[in-house]
Structure formats: structure tokens, C-alpha cells
Amino acid sequence: MIESAWLDIAPRISWSVATTQPRRRIFVVLLKADGLDDYELPVSSINLRLRNVKASYVRVTVPNPTDHTDAILARTSGRMHILSGWLTDDGVRHLEELIYANVQNVYFNQGSSNVLILAGTRFMTRSNPRAAAIEGISQIRKTPAGKVAVTAPLDFFIQPGDVASAGDETFTVDYMGCVILPPNAWMEIEGAANG
């Protein structure tokens, strides 16, 4: 009887298995301007030229821009915010801002490509550089100026000003060129070899 009562109140062993939501990498461009709602802009490509202290450059290409003309023109005095993250199968987006830049130039090509390009710059200073290893390297080479140049999948945990290691090379990143053709993205980073 006592044993039976104990079985009724004894803690049960429970097992839980963590499940992961399948996800895919996404990139989002928001146009922001004072007094207006944020506008999510569909883009076919994003190009970034990131530097420490010097001007960084952001360019986005918008396909079929006439579908978005009013929203774009109303925000050309504002900023482009580039966000990246993951979209899970249940439709939830997990995003973080990568960079923003003031919109400075608008180019419209009504020819066969029918695209609009928004471009702008931003000055950034990396106040807390860190050491970072580059993963998935597809190429390491020396530039004509003698700098180390590495091509790899895009990794936004590496920023200009960081000390990067790639193979046997260690260098301070002074330039990052990023090409994003959603959902794919890669980078070429450069810097003078340390030591």
C-alpha cells in the first residue's frame, strides 16, 4: 500500500528532445525616413564596401521599381537599413541590422534591365576590434599592393578593424567587399599582413 502511494507521488522521469526549425538565410532592406512608416524594399542584389574610419558604401538594386516608385521617392532623403537573419518554416523572421547608410544617389535604368539603384555612404569606426578566424575560404591571394585578400562566404561577425586569420596569414581587415544575391552571399576581405 505504501509502495503504491509512493508511486503516485514519486517524480516521473521525463524526456524532451529539442527540435530545430528548418531555416533559411534572408536579407531585408528597409527604407526609413522621418515622419513615414518603414518600407520594406524588394531587392535583387546588395553590394557593400565596408571600411574602418573611412567611408563605407552601400548599394541596393531594386527590380521592377515602378511598382514601388511612390514609396521610394518619398524616402530618398532617408536611410537604407540592411538586415540579415533567418526565416523559419513557421514564417518567423529573426533579423539583426548589419549596416545603414543615408540615401545619396538614385539611378534608374529603364532599358532592358528596368532596375533602380539606391546608393549611399556611412562612416563607421570599429571601437572594439577582435580576433576572428575566416571559415569556408575559397581563395587566398596577394593583391598588387601586397595585401592579403581572402574570398569566403559572408560572415558579419568579421568587421573592418578586426584581426583576421586565414590559413597561415594573419592581417588587420581594412576593407570588406560583400556581394549579396539573396539568399547567397560572399565577401572579399583585405588587409596588410601582421608580422
Q: What is the pLDDT of residues 90-143, one digit of tens each?
A: 889 999 998 899 999 998 876 667 889 999 998 877 778 899 999 999 999 999
Same domain for 43 and 108: yes
Indicate the residue among 71, 100, 123 that finishes a domain.
123
- Domain check: are 119 and 176 in the same one? no
Residue ranges of alpha helices (H) inside the chain are 2-9, 69-74
Q: What is the pLDDT of residue 65?
A: 87
The pLDDT value given to residue 21: 60
Q: Does 64 lie in the same domain as 32?
A: yes
Lay out the sheet containing 79-88: strands in order across.
Answer: 39-41, 23-32, 79-88, 93-102
**d(Cα 181, Cα 43) in Å, to the nearest integer?**
9
What integer is the mean pLDDT of 141-150?
Answer: 93
Residues 107 and 35 in one domain: yes
Do 53 and 29 share a structural domain? yes
Report phi then psi at 15, rounded to 5: -115, 135
68 and 89 co-located in one domain: yes
In a domain, 149, yes or no: yes
62 & 111 share domain? yes
Q: Are residues 37 and 78 in the same domain?
A: yes
Domain shared by 137 and 118, yes or no: no
Helix-, strand-, coil-residue percentages of the chain, each rounded to 5: 10, 50, 40
The answer to whether 141 and 166 are in contact (CB under 8 A) is no
Considering only residues 23 and 106, tell me which one the structure prediction assigns the higher pLDDT. 106
CA–chain centroid gap for 90, Å, is 22
Range of the structural domain that residue 58 is part of: 23-123
Q: Please indicate, yes or no, if residue 7 is contained in any of the structural domains.
A: no
Of the residues 123, 154, 172, the one at which a domain ends: 123
Arithmetic mean of pLDDT, 4-21: 51
Mean pLDDT of the chain: 86
Same domain, 109 and 141: no
Cα 190 from Cα 129, distance rounded (Å): 15
- Residue-wise pLDDT tens digits, 46-105: 999 999 888 999 999 999 888 898 999 999 999 999 999 999 888 899 999 988 999 999
pTM: 0.81
Neighbours of 150 (CB within 10 A): 23
| Alpha-carbon separation of residue 23 from 26, 84, 112, 155, 179 (angstroms) | 9, 13, 35, 17, 21
- 5 in a structural domain: no
118: in domain: yes
- Percent of the chain at pLDDT exceeding 70: 87
Instruction: Compute the distance between CA of residue 55 and CA of residue 30 in angstroms, rounded to an integer.
Output: 21
Number of domains in the chain: 2
Query: How far apart are alpha carbons 102 and 100 in whole angstroms?
Result: 7
